[in-house]
Structure 1
Amino acid sequence: MILLAIDCSANLCAACVYDALAGRDLGRSVLDLGKGHAEHLMDVIAEALQRAGKTYADLGAIAVSTGPGSFTGVRVAVSTARGLSLALKIPAIGVTTLEALAAEAAKTFPGRAVLAALDAGRAEIHAALYDGDGRLCHGPRAMSLEQAAALANQASPVLAGTAAALISEAAGANFDIGASAPTADIATYARLAAAKGAGGGKPKPVYLREADAKPQAGFVLPRAVP
């Protein structure tokens, strides 16, 4: 099966075409944007398809990073994946940022538990703990740095993600640390989605914090009653 994987959960706007049978990336396109994923994602997808020598008609599934990460970026990627899924009549498969980071750490440290954790700012950590077989044990959830450090001391895992060094320092111990990036390689999302298959339902964004922008109720005009 040929999958298209897309990720906008962090600064990157990334897409790749992946051959699940051969287990390899056929072509990819990655832009380091920071912002503006919505304006560029379809062009990034088109370039990945072109480099792979494939068209939309060749795709058997869509893989997408569901976060946690950039609120807007995750929403853009998930809505695009679901739209393509509907238009092409193929499944869309969600993979969280944390499980992708954990999977990459597990390749370097096989058989070890992994605590994948992102520094979400405001003294908040977004984390999930996976056992040595890659099964989710705890989370994903928002927690304080102190809570993340206590979890690390309890489980003695490999640490991965942007909060890895923070947790190691707060825990007062030396942990093995995998990649400290805010997201995984785009092919990792494709590989994990291919292993999951299409039985998980429609992908949904993983938001561990409410959006910063909220309706300003004080400026809402009262509704006229006829």
Structure 2
Amino acid sequence: MNLLAIDTAANLCAACVYDADAARELGRSVRDIGKGHAEVLMDVIGEALAAAGLQLRDMGALAVAVGPGSFTGIRVGVSVARGLALALKAPAAGITTLEALAFEARQKFAGDSVLAAIDGGRDGIYVAAYDGLGKVSYAPVVVDLETAMGLARAAAVVTGSAAKRIAEAAGLESLQIGSEAPTADIATYARLAVANGFSGEKPRPLYLRAPDAKPQTHLSLPRKES
């Protein structure tokens, strides 16, 4: 089975084609764009398919990064994945960025317990903790630096864009640091989707904070009484 994986949760706009039976990547396209995922995602998907020598109709499943991360980017990726899954009559799986980062860290550090931590800017730090087998020991949530430091003290590895900041603030010089990126390699999302299986549940964005856009209620007109 061929699988198409999509990641628009952070600065990257990425897609890859993955052969689930052979457990190997067939083609990819990755652009570091920062913003504007909606404008380029379909081109990126087309480039990944071309690199694999396949077409959309050859895809038997989809995987997509569901966050936490960029509110707009996540919405774009999940919407496209769900739309393609519907058109192809194929299952789609959502993988969190925290799970993907933790998976990569376990591969690098031989199965140690991992705290995945992504910098959420003014909103705090997005975190989740996993044991050496990948089971969630602290569910995804947004926390302050002090809470993140406490979680780091119980982990063998900290990974993600907030990892170094947490380790330094906690004075944990001996703590192993994994990736310092806000998202994992695109093929990791494909591998995890295959490993986790397809439950039939549609991918849903994992938002750990409220959206930046707020209704402009001060511009609304008072309703007239009938």
If the TM-score is normalised by the length of the shorter chain, which range does it land in?
over 0.9
Instruction: Determine if the alignment matches structure 1 residue 93 to structure 2 residue 93.
Output: yes
- Partner of 1:64, secondary structure, is strand
Distance in structure 2 (CA, Å) of the matches to 1:156 and 1:11: 27
Partner of 2:104: 104
- Partner of 1:122, secondary structure, is helix
TM-score normalised to structure 1 length: 0.97
Amino acid at match of 2:169: A
Distance in structure 1 (CA, Å) of the matches to 2:16 and 2:111: 28
Distance in structure 1 (CA, Å) of the matches to 2:136 and 2:163: 18
Amino acid at match of 2:58: D
Amino acid at match of 2:73: G
Partner of 2:43: 43
- Unaligned 5+ segments in structure 2 are none
Partner of 1:156: 155
Structure 1 runs of 4+ off > 6 angstroms?
none
Amino acid at match of 2:168: E
Partner of 1:171: 170
**Per-residue displacement from partner, 1:3-38 (whole Å, max 9, x unpaired)?**
000000111100000001111110001111011100
TM-score normalised to structure 2 length: 0.97
Change (3 A) 1:134 1:200: farther
Count of aligned pairs? 225
Q: For the Cα contact (< 8 Å) 1:123–1:145, is it kept in 2?
A: no
Partner of 2:34: 34
Partner of 2:202: 202
Distance in structure 2 (CA, Å) of the matches to 1:202 and 1:17: 20
- Unaligned 5+ segments in structure 1 are none
Aligned sequence identity (%) = 62
- Partner of 1:49, secondary structure, is helix
Distance in structure 1 (CA, Å) of the matches to 2:137 and 2:70: 24
Instruction: Determine if the alignment matches structure 1 residue 120 to structure 2 residue 131.
Output: no
- Kindly report which structure 2 residues correspond to 1:129-144, keeping only aligned pairs within 5 A, or say none: 129-144=129-144
Tell me how far 1:224 sits from its aligned partner: 3.8
Distance in structure 2 (CA, Å) of the matches to 1:123 and 1:83: 30
Distance in structure 2 (CA, Å) of the matches to 1:131 and 1:200: 26
Distance in structure 2 (CA, Å) of the matches to 1:152 and 1:36: 33
Distance in structure 2 (CA, Å) of the matches to 1:197 and 1:95: 11
Q: CA RMSD in A?
A: 1.1
Q: For the Cα contact (< 8 Å) 2:115–2:159, is it kept in 1?
A: yes
- Partner of 2:5, secondary structure, is strand
Distance in structure 2 (CA, Å) of the matches to 1:86 and 1:156: 40
